[in-house]
Amino acid sequence: MAKHFQAVRGMNDILPAEAAQWQRLEATVRDVLAAYDYQEIRLPLVEKTELFARAIGEVTDIVEKEMYTFADRNGDNLTLRPEGTAGCVRACLEHGLLHHQTRRLWYAGPMFRYEKPQKGRYRQFHQVGAEAYGMAGPDIDAELICLSARLWRRLGLNEVSLQLNTLGSSAARAAYRERLVGYFTARQSGLDEDSRRRLQTNPLRILDSKNPTMQALIAEAPALLDHLDPESLAHFEELKALLDAAGIVYQINPRLVRGLDYYRQTVFEWVTDTLGAQGAICAGGRYDGLIEELGGPATGGIGFAMGLERLVAMLTAAGRPGADSAPHAYLITVGEVAQQIGLVLAERWRDEWPELRLRLNCGGGSFKAQFRRADHSGARFALILGEDEAKTATIAIKPLREAQGEQVTLPQEQATAWLRTAALDKKS
């Protein structure tokens, strides 16, 4: 037999048994976004490479070594999106969504980064992102953080904490960059190779290094918070006051610099200790300046994206149930006449109760074999349509799970009402 294909490394199938957890998560996220009046935008998976280079920054890990980039048949240089913010701004500018108005948008879907795959880090992964435009903050900064906090509450995820920092204005950041270059240049022998390279290209990212031998050097480095311009400082103070008023607990992390170049002012990350090394479940910040950089008006932007694989892993580890997807009932038919009636009845029942999840036995089989399939399906009831029931226009309903009473036989037109009551019973 030929060897079957395997999925590409770092790109996962989400199997039916896991999909229920994804569905519940996605439904909850949608509900919470709607509660803040965010509107969905659907974006292409592929954009021009130049968009990401300009938005995320030429000398970031993502652009330098993680993008799936290719020339299409026309010779255009294209990239599978590594994140959603750049495409979202591009779409807003292309369709004039930011003309003298504010916007709150969200998107969901796969992103692609050629990273080293490990638990919680994949080459195809899924994000839900939220982006807000045309508001200078910090009110919108605080609201966006409240939104994410509400989501964790709704999902019952308690072991998460919020890290907060500010990167200041472009000018403050540039002045700080100079100071940092001075500091690390004087101590170059203590830097690893990666950081020495970053000293020329992206010195702020040195602060992000996880290399244990550099931690003392990093701890002593000048802190951006001490070099902030007065406006940025006021913005940050006001944001903290808003979060305090809303009862949101946070830790200031002066080393939180983020891996994408478009951030200014507020940056934040929700982290957890429960997932091992890949503990960031949601991250974002302000990116005033990006919209102009991509050819739009000078207008503010802020957003975040959360990693769905990591959230699903947390929900599963916490033993949260997924969306209820098992069928309510499995319809067994015995004999050719019953088979025909069964198909018609199943259609009628689905008309009567659109939420009904009914699996019809297809592919024949003895009563015993069908009954076994009914049990395996996870259905709560087997509906049995034998020759007698076919003749008398009745249906036998046999409970398959726990103590749900005796088998009953009902007129066929009462079946959906009966099942609906039984399904509601389960919820109460």
- Tell me which residues touch ligand HAM (CB under 6 A): 83-85, 113, 115, 120-122, 125, 127, 129, 131, 259-260, 280-285, 287, 303-307, 309-310
426 three-state secondary structure? helix
CB of 327 to ligand HAM, least distance (A): 32
Return the ∠ at Cα 159 (arms to 153 and 165), rounded to 5°.
Answer: 90
- Cβ-based nearer residue to ligand HAM, 163 or 377: 163
- Given a contact cutoff of 8 angstroms between Cβ atoms, the answer to whether 339 and 368 are in contact is no
CA angle 268, 270, 276 (to 5 degrees): 130
d(Cα 343, Cα 359) in Å, to the nearest integer? 11
Q: What minimum distance in Å lies between the beta carbon of 214 and ligand HAM?
A: 22
Q: Which is nearer to ligand HAM, 87 or 342 (CB)?
A: 87
Helix-helix angle 139-155:16-35, to 10 degrees: 140
**Shortest distance (Å) from residue 84 CB to ligand HAM:** 6
- Could you give the CA distance from residue 65 to residue 408 in angstroms, rounded to a whole number? 65
Q: Which is nearer to ligand HAM, 108 or 338 (CB)?
A: 108
- Does residue 301 contact residue 89 with C-beta atoms inside 8 Å? yes
Q: What is d(CA 185, CA 191) in angstroms, rounded to the nearest whole number?
A: 9
Nearest residue (CB) to ligand HAM, 38 versus 304? 304
CB of 51 to ligand HAM, least distance (A): 13
Q: Which is nearer to ligand HAM, 120 or 203 (CB)?
A: 120
Name the amino acid, one letter, at 427: K
- What distance in Å separates the CA atoms of residue 428 and residue 421, rounded to the nearest whole number? 11
Q: What whole-number distance in Å separates Cα of residue 5 and Cα of residue 2? A: 9
Q: Rounded to the nearest whole angstrom, what is the least distance from the CB of residue 61 to ligand HAM in the complex? A: 10
Name which of 198 and 286 has its Cβ closer to ligand HAM.
286
Residue 176 vs 304, nearer CB to ligand HAM: 304
The letter for the amino acid at 355 is E
Nearest residue to ligand HAM, scored by beta-carbon proximity: 307
Rounded distance between C-alpha atoms, residue 198 and residue 86, angstroms? 23
Rounded to a whole number of angstroms, the minimum distance from the CB of residue 86 to ligand HAM is 8
Bridge partners for 395 per DSSP:
410
Work out how close the CB of 414 gets to ligand HAM at its nearest, in angstroms, rounded to a whole number: 50
Whether residue 344 contacts residue 390, with contact meaning beta carbons closer than 8 Å, is answered with no
